[in-house]
Amino acid sequence: MTPLRMLLAALFIWTMLAVPVPAQTPLVVDVIEGHLDPTPVAIHNFLGENDQESQIGADISRVIANNLRASGLFAPIDQDAFIEEVVNIDLRPRFGDWRVINASALLVGRVSIDENDRLRVAFRLWDAATERQMHGLQFVASLDNWRRIAHKISDTIYERMTGETGYFDTRIIYVSESVGPNDEPIRRLAVMDQDGANPSFLTDPSYMALLPNYSPSAQQITYVSFRDGRATSYLYDLASGRQEALFDSDPALAAKGQSLSARFHPNGRELVVSAERRSGHDLFKFDLHTRTLRQLTDHPADDVEPSYAPDGGRVVFSSSRGGQSQLYVMGADGADPRRITFGQGRYTTPVWSPRGDLIAFTKQLDDQFMLGVVNADGSGEERILYEGYFVDTPTWSPNGRVLLFTRGDRTLDGATYSIWSVDLAGFNLRRLPTRGPASDPAWSPLID
């Protein structure tokens, strides 16, 4: 099994202890309204038999607490407030001690390292009100994968308490910005865990790289490069490091000019891309196996920034065919394009939600930028989640509950760019930790 997939397996789920419990409603976190009143949870440091195991246990607990806090749905309780000191996770907690400090849930765990230097991490998640165990698992992995175990546990807690899939065991590719010799801007692709840990570069500073997008398997990305003096879409295999221009096999496109905004079909075998064949940009389907193109739109106006629906049956894109740029939806074969936004201003960068119900977009009205969502069928009112000096390139969490985006803030020298997140209620605005200015985030699917 590859390092990306990791030697990580759930070995067992503990059976709920058969003891009388108070008649209480099971704990459920409201994903929509929970942002205003985060659920208090107690996260005890995972236990270990020696200093190394105890340190790893404390680190795992810290990452879990940070993940849950960052979601805006949970409020980890300060450990200084704990009354009971857990010494054995196989014993029932003293639930009264946890209810006194207002804990709705309690997480306890244990860390051990076996004779083959494999890490074993077990945990139990308890409902403090009903005094029932909500979940219990054990994971096995190599020692250097302790952080992934923490993310896996965070996802398990999120799913058990909200009823929806988590998004913590994911990665984010983005554009890292810096200044080179003669004040030349340097824009390199970089990748990090969703919480900002383990950053590394994917491209070198000799050429500009922009607008990355993940494949459904998280094994490949597309991006736009200016290595040959024009905007060209590239395919990058993350395992091998192999990169190739998409349209070298098509003389008409290769000779013409720009190709932009390539995004993967949910089947991972096709791309939809905006490219310039004659005058202006049209949308094309690119078959990754045959390396052949099929034209989907043919309009004098520019059709750009396509994104597939999660079922692969439709494509949203932005176009100026109605005057100012607006959003359109058509069949994946190019049939029946239909305008879905009619507000004032320029609508750009549409991205279909993984849930299929919403499309995120950015909008410019006069000198104000906005991040918003609209129903995928165009019905109802658009919802603005954030307004600012500059907003661009939204990307969805795998569960469709959080958006990352590029935010620009005015400075004396112009603007500085950073990556921020916001939830679908427009709450929990947070800046992602990056080393220096950053833009163009792309959120991976959950990692296998």
CATH number of the domain residue 353 falls in: 2.120.10.30
Neighbour-count burial for 152-164, b at 16+ CB within 10 Å, e otherwise:
bbbbbbbebbbee
Say if residue 181 is in the same domain as residue 109.
Answer: no
The range of the structural domain enclosing residue 42 comes to 9-162
Average of pLDDT values for 305-325?
96
pLDDT tens, position by position, 277-292: 777 899 999 999 998 8
Residue 310 has pLDDT above 80, yes or no: yes
Does 251 reside within a domain?
A: yes
Give the model's confidence band at 250: pLDDT under 50 very low, under 70 low, under 90 confident, else very high: low
pLDDT tens, position by position, 75-107: 999 999 999 999 999 999 999 999 999 999 999
10 and 137 in contact (C-beta within 8 Å)?
A: yes
pLDDT tens, position by position, 335-390: 999 999 999 999 999 999 999 999 999 999 999 999 999 999 999 999 999 999 99
Say if residue 200 is in the same domain as residue 286.
Answer: yes
Say if residue 302 is in the same domain as residue 327.
Answer: yes
d(CA 57, CA 108) in angstroms, rounded, equals 10
- Choosing from 116, 134, 162, the residue where a domain stops is 162
Say if residue 333 is in the same domain as residue 194.
Answer: yes
Does 279 reside within a domain?
A: yes
Give the model's confidence band at 251: pLDDT under 50 very low, under 70 low, under 90 confident, else very high: low
Does 448 reside within a domain?
A: no
Does 84 reside within a domain?
A: yes
d(CA 426, CA 351) in angstroms, rounded, equals 17
Say if residue 298 is in the same domain as residue 220.
Answer: yes
Q: What is the predicted pLDDT for the residue at 261?
A: 81
Q: What is the predicted pLDDT for the residue at 22?
A: 42
Q: What is the predicted pLDDT for the residue at 23?
A: 42
Give the model's confidence band at 147: pLDDT under 50 very low, under 70 low, under 90 confident, else very high: very high
pLDDT tens, position by position, 168-209: 999 999 999 998 888 888 999 999 999 999 999 999 999 999
Residue 301 has pLDDT above 80, yes or no: yes
Give the model's confidence band at 12: pLDDT under 50 very low, under 70 low, under 90 confident, else very high: very low
Which residues partner with 305 through β-bridges?
none
Say if residue 234 is in the same domain as residue 352.
Answer: yes
Residue 16 phi/psi, 5° resolution? -60, 135
Q: Measure Cα distances from 111 to 89, 93, 106, 123 in Å.
A: 11, 18, 17, 9
- Choosing from 162, 192, 212, the residue where a domain stops is 162
- Average model confidence (pLDDT) across the chain: 90
**Residue 48 maps to which CATH number?**
3.40.50.10070
Residue type, 143: L
Q: What is the predicted pLDDT for the residue at 10?
A: 41
Residue 19 has pLDDT above 80, yes or no: no
Say if residue 88 is in the same domain as residue 194.
Answer: no
Q: What is the predicted pLDDT for the residue at 20?
A: 39
Average of pLDDT values for 31-48?
83
pTM over 0.85: yes
Pairing status of strand 383-388 against strand 259-264: unpaired
| Burial class of residue 210, CB neighbours in 10 A (0-12, 13-18, 19+) | middle
Average of pLDDT values for 407-429?
93
Does 4 reside within a domain?
A: no
Residue 5 has pLDDT above 90, yes or no: no
Residue 28 has pLDDT above 80, yes or no: no
DSSP H helices, 286-334, are: none
The three-class DSSP label of residue 342 is coil
Average of pLDDT values for 126-137?
96
d(CA 443, CA 289) in angstroms, rounded, equals 25
Q: What is the predicted pLDDT for the residue at 179?
A: 87
Could you write out the DSSP letters of every residue in 116-185? Answer: TSEEEEEEEEEETTTTEEEEEEEEEEEGGGHHHHHHHHHHHHHHHHHSS----S-EEEEEEEEE-GGG-E
Say if residue 321 is in the same domain as residue 372.
Answer: yes
Per the rule left: phi > 0, alpha: psi between -120 and 50, beta: everything else, 356 is left
Total count of domains within the chain:
2
- Choosing from 162, 186, 212, the residue where a domain stops is 162
d(CA 384, CA 172) in angstroms, rounded, equals 24
Torsion sign over Cα 445, 69, 360, 434:
negative
The three-class DSSP label of residue 295 is strand
